[in-house]
Amino acid sequence: MESVLYTQYKKEIAPALQKELEITNIMDVPKVDKVVINVGYGRHTKDKSFIENVEKTLCAITGQKPVHNLAKKSISNFKIREGADVGMSATLRGKQMYEFLYKLINLSFPRVRDFRGISIKGFDRKGNYTFGLKESIAFPEVDVEQIDKIHGLQVIISITADNKQQGLALLKKMGFPFQDA
């Protein structure tokens, strides 16, 4: 069974984008390639319970086990050694990615406290979009009673667009709530 967002993309969003962006070939229409969810430990790198808490949260949100990220070089001011565990991330593709985006747009954004939309400034020059959430409890899978310390997370949406305008057009058609700028 396909995701609701994926079928909507195939039937409605892609043809509308093709007309709007004046693209001749339907295969050139921008689409979401992958979604990466990132969490950095910050000052909690030595706290094992916090790391386990982050791993449980990411497992619940993404439906897969996250990968631990290691420091590439030592930074003495931050008390980080090369090879030290500094965060974790999960990469979503295919059906899981579209399910995550659907939950993000329809369930998580409305649950964020004082939410007024996401910023348009998160696009890079190739059309990829990055934003952060200060609290992971916005996701319905996360049980608030089992969390000791609330942490944020970073979401990176990789898009097969050529520029910012194409990426923005795709995400607006998908239903992302952008701030009025």
51-95 residue pLDDT tens: 888 888 888 889 899 998 887 887 777 777 787 777 899 999 999
Location of structure tokens 């659907």: 102
Residue with the bigger pLDDT between 137 and 176: it is 176
Three-state secondary-structure class, residue 39:
strand
Q: Which fold has domain 30-174?
A: 50s Ribosomal Protein L5; Chain: A, (3.30.1440)
CA-CA distance, 87 to 71, in Å (whole number)? 9
> From CA 170, how far away is CA 99, in angstroms rounded?
17
Cβ atoms < 10 Å from Cβ of 131: 15
**pLDDT single digits (tens) 100-140:** 999 988 888 888 888 888 888 989 988 899 998 888 778 87
Residue 181 reports pLDDT greater than 60: no
Q: How confident is the model at residue 96 (pLDDT cuts 50, 70, 90)?
A: very high
Amino acid found at 31: K
Give the pLDDT confidence score for residue 36 in this predicted structure.
95
Is pLDDT at 44 greater than 80 in this prediction? no
pLDDT given at position 38: 93
pLDDT at residue number 71:
79
CB 89 within 8 A of CB 69: yes
Domain residue ranges in the chain: 30-174
Question: Longest C-alpha distance within the chain, in Å?
Answer: 54
Q: What is the pLDDT of residue 15?
A: 92
Q: Please tell me the pTM assigned to this model.
A: 0.87
Give residue 85's pLDDT.
Answer: 76
How crowded is the C-beta side of 97, counted as CA atoms within 13 Å? 18
- Per-residue pLDDT at 88: 92
- The two three-digit tokens of residue 59, written as one number: 């497992």
Structure confidence at residue 83 (pLDDT): 74
The residue ranking higher by pLDDT, 13 or 49, is 13
Closest of 34, 35, 29 to residue 10, by C-alpha: 29
Q: Are 176 and 157 spatial neighbours (Cβ–Cβ below 8 Å)?
A: no
Band of residue 30 on the pLDDT scale cut at 50, 70, 90: very high
Residue 34 β-bridge partners? 158
Distance CA 156, CA 154 (A): 7
What confidence tens digit (pLDDT) does each residue in 161-173 have?
888 999 899 999 9
